[in-house]
Amino acid sequence: MNRRILALVIFVIAACGIVSLHPPAEIAAIFASPQAMPVAQGVVEVKLPLEQKSVRFAVIGDNGTGDTPQYEVAAEMEAYRKVVGYDFVTMMGDNIYGSHKPKDIERKFETPYKPLLDAGVKFYACLGNHDDSNETLYKLFNMDGQHYYSFKKGDVQFFVLDSNYMDSKQLDWIQNQLSGSTAKWKIAYFHHPLYSDGRFHGPDLDLRKQLMPIFEKYGLNVVLSGHDHVYERFKPEDGIYFFLVGNSGELRYHNLRPGSNIMAAGFDTDRTFMLVEISGDKLYFQTVSRTGQTVDSGTLQRQPKAQAPIQAEQQVH
């Protein structure tokens, strides 16, 4: 980028009051990086069909660092939003790392995702192990003061859990919610993964023992999690589709264990976010890296009802 143009950009940012949130060198890095300017390049590769009246959303996890890679992922998210038209984002936890002062929340959430927020995109958060419980009161996380909650979009119902404290009260709640749900698609998300090939954390086996019998009994379709700072998609487990998106801000380079027999796809060399579209009996997904590369995509067929044997059919591109 021309020095004069770069200087003008930094001046404009300073005039808008953002310069206090990032050192000048960091701002220069963000705007000088070609990966951080997908809108200017005008190039996005959409694998989703974009069908009429479909439910479309994005997935991020372990994102709240306030560092340059988070801002670059956010820029890609905005570029894809303009084409895909998704209107909400599910957050897998670790929404804000470190200090939770107002200026930190601004730097680690409000500023990087400002274009999305300005466009009316809603964020629905769950709590990770690095989060403060007061985040449940933060208006833009749409938790309404609750540690676990549900919401519905079209034919899809989302069940958001607090995997930090899985007590009997929460287990009763999720069982009652799932048993009473008439949604065509049932998706649960929470921070700690039931399955993971990440070497740093790996799966939460105790949580798996608590939740899987409930998920199987009531026909849950999809589980989304974070915690391990990688991306991973799994072969169906007991008829349920599992995704791990824990590298939208943080990253553990080459942290996936090789030779896994449960992994369908994995990516651990850059940050990512995921796009999801649900239409009828099909779920389409596309996982995009910080640099705009599609690292995984495919189509999943909705499973039969819980009363029937669950045979997951998968068609991956």
Residue pLDDT, tens place only, 126-138: 999 999 999 999 9
In a domain, 232, yes or no: yes
In a domain, 24, yes or no: no
Range of the domain at 146: 33-316
User: Which pLDDT score is estimated for 14?
Assistant: 42
In a domain, 248, yes or no: yes
In a domain, 247, yes or no: yes
Q: Give the total number of structural domains in the chain.
A: 1
144/309: higher pLDDT:
144
Mean of pLDDT values over 182-209: 95
Residue 33 has pLDDT above 50, yes or no: no
**What is the spatial distance between Cα 313 and Cα 317, in angstroms, rounded to a whole number?**
13
In a domain, 194, yes or no: yes
pTM, two decimals, is 0.84
Residue pLDDT, tens place only, 40-65: 345 899 999 999 999 999 999 999 99
In a domain, 227, yes or no: yes
> CATH no. for residue 80?
3.60.21.10
Residue pLDDT, tens place only, 259-307: 899 999 999 999 999 999 999 999 999 999 999 999 999 999 999 875 4
314/182: higher pLDDT:
182
In a domain, 13, yes or no: no
CA dihedral 213, 218, 222, 228 (to 10 degrees): -30
